[in-house]
């Protein structure tokens, strides 16, 4: 099955927006956040117009409707990643909070001074800083799987690190800079053989390719709605039931309790044990619709379209004198092209492209250590999604030539 890109683009109202020059916006920043289809926008609007109420505690019609919509979305999300039960899907604010939930709850209950956590050199700050904080607090040890010159993980070094008996291996499924799609199933299998628990940062993979948590055998897996056609302010943490059951609550308050006395409390059952207070109800509704939208398209078709666009983009970018693209070939990466242009700062590239309505990202992309690895402070990054076209890639390339002319 192939995607009907012309029809898909009609689903995204923002792509009709015109720039100051009267041209349509060229949105090449989906790795930062994707655009939202009309179905998601209308579903959230309809919730507020017709069904808005707090969930779980009310017995009136609106409360029951809101609860059914909130929990129905959880069921669709669980099915999307092939979780065995919706109880294993915890709503959070985003991938960052999901990782922090594991760091604060599971890790602080299970890790002590000297215990080893293995990360990688290509991690987003969200999967670095929580472990730095735990290292300062508990004295755990951190080691990192190196990144090779072509943007892949050094799995031989990973196997060597595993001989030191790590307690946790936490890694990104897909790099937000290099686009590298890491061999998650193999990394997890090797970690389990060494007795380690695994945490997968799937913020970039779940929106772009089929992810099956049971096939991967992931212990924890984190992702965000806003990168996959859904709203901001909501994400999810998947966890194996036995691990989640054994973990202490992350936050205390309403809805995460079964019973409260003046001097004690008993936590609620999964998943509510980790969902304190009034949640992002409308956002959950939007999340569920976004998952349904992607499911209708088919994630195999989504991945195939992105490979095609990425392959074309890499060919076009690499023909420009002075452009250096980072990361592996298109068959080993997702829809990301991070690059530098000789003699021009990435922020200048992005700013000049913006004058023609071309939206890309510039900076370290919350991956400063990875940029240091390649001896650069920043890159320009174009990223692609279900609505991206080869015509937009051509406009990007033309824009970079314009930048070159301006800087001589």
What CATH number should be reported for the domain holding residue 51?
Answer: 3.40.640.10
Residues 166, 237, single domain; the answer is yes
- Which residues touch 139 (CB under 8 Å, ≥6 apart)? 112, 113, 114
Tell which of 296, 314, 331 closes a domain. Answer: 296
Q: Does the pLDDT of residue 357 top 90, yes or no?
A: yes
Segment 286-315 shows an average pLDDT of 98
Residues 158, 268, single domain; the answer is yes
What's the pLDDT band for 21 if we cut at 50, 70, 90?
A: confident
Residues 270, 312, single domain; the answer is no
DSSP letter for 179, please.
-
- Report the distance separating Cα 257 and Cα 57, nearest Å: 12
Which two structure tokens, joined as six digits, stand for 338?
Answer: 């991070």
Give pLDDT, residue 57. Answer: 81
| pLDDT over 70 percentage in the chain | 100
Residues 242, 124, single domain; the answer is yes
pLDDT digits 0-9 by tens, 254-266: 999 999 899 999 9
The tally of domains found in the chain comes to 2
Give pLDDT, residue 365. Answer: 97
- Report the distance separating Cα 204 and Cα 98, nearest Å: 14
321 — alpha (psi -120 to 50), left (phi > 0) or beta? beta
Tell which of 281, 296, 311 closes a domain. Answer: 296
CB 95 within 8 A of CB 130: no
Residues 212, 131, single domain; the answer is yes
What CATH number should be reported for the domain holding residue 371?
Answer: 3.90.1150.10
Residues 198, 51, single domain; the answer is yes
Tell which of 278, 296, 314 closes a domain. Answer: 296
Give pLDDT, residue 49. Answer: 98
Average pLDDT, the chain: 97
Secondary structure E strands in 313-366: 323-326, 336-341, 358-359, 361-363
Residues 207, 305, single domain; the answer is no
pLDDT digits 0-9 by tens, 179-223: 999 999 999 999 999 999 999 999 999 999 999 999 999 999 999
Whether residue 146 lies inside any domain: the answer is yes
Q: Does the pLDDT of residue 23 top 90, yes or no?
A: no
- Catalytic-residue membership of 366: yes
Residues 328, 375, single domain; the answer is yes
- Residue 108's domain comprises 41-296
Of 32, 257, 366, 376, the catalytic one is 366
- Which residues touch 156 (CB under 8 Å, ≥6 apart)? none
């Amino acid at each position: 099955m192939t995607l009907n890109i012309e029809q898909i683009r009609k689903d995204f109202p923002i792509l009709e927006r015109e720039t100051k020059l009267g041209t349509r916006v060229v949105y090449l920043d989906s790795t930062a956040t994707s655009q939202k289809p009309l179905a998601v926008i209308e579903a959230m609007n309809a919730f507020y117009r017709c069904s808005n109420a707090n969930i779980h505690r009310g017995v009136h019609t609106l409360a029951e409707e809101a609860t059914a919509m909130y929990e129905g979305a959880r069921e669709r999300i669980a099915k999307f990643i092939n979780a065995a039960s919706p109880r294993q899907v915890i709503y959070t604010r985003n991938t960052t909070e999901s990782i922090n939930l594991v760091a604060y709850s599971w890790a602080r209950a299970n890790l002590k001074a000297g215990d080893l956590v293995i990360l990688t050199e290509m991690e987003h700050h969200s999967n670095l800083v929580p472990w730095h904080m735990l290292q300062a607090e508990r004295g755990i040890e951190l080691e990192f799987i190196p990144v090779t010159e072509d943007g892949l993980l050094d799995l031989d070094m990973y196997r060597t690190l595993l001989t030191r008996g790590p307690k946790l291996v936490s890694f990104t499924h897909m790099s937000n800079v290099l686009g590298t799609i890491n061999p998650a199933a193999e990394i997890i299998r090797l970690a389990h053989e060494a007795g380690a628990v695994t945490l997968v940062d799937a913020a970039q993979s779940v929106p772009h390719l089929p992810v099956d948590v049971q096939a991967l055998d992931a212990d924890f897996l984190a992702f965000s709605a806003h990168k996959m056609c859904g709203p901001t302010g909501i994400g999810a943490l998947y966890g194996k039931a036995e691990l989640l059951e054994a973990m202490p609550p992350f936050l205390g308050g309403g809805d995460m309790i079964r019973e409260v006395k003046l001097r004690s409390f008993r936590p609620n059952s999964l998943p509510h044990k980790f969902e304190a207070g009034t949640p992002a109800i409308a956002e959950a509704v939007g999340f569920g619709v976004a998952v349904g939208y992607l499911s209708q398209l088919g994630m195999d078709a989504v991945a195939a379209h992105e490979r095609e666009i990425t392959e074309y983009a890499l060919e076009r970018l690499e023909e420009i004198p002075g452009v250096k693209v980072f990361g592996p070939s298109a068959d080993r990466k997702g829809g990301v092209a991070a690059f530098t242009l000789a003699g021009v700062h990435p922020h200048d590239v992005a700013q000049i492209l913006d004058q023609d309505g071309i939206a890309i990202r510039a900076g370290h992309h919350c991956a400063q250590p990875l940029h240091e690895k390649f001896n650069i402070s920043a890159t320009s990054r174009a990223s692609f999604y279900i609505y991206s076209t080869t015509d937009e890639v051509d406009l990007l390339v033309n824009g970079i030539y314009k930048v070159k002319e301006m800087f001589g």
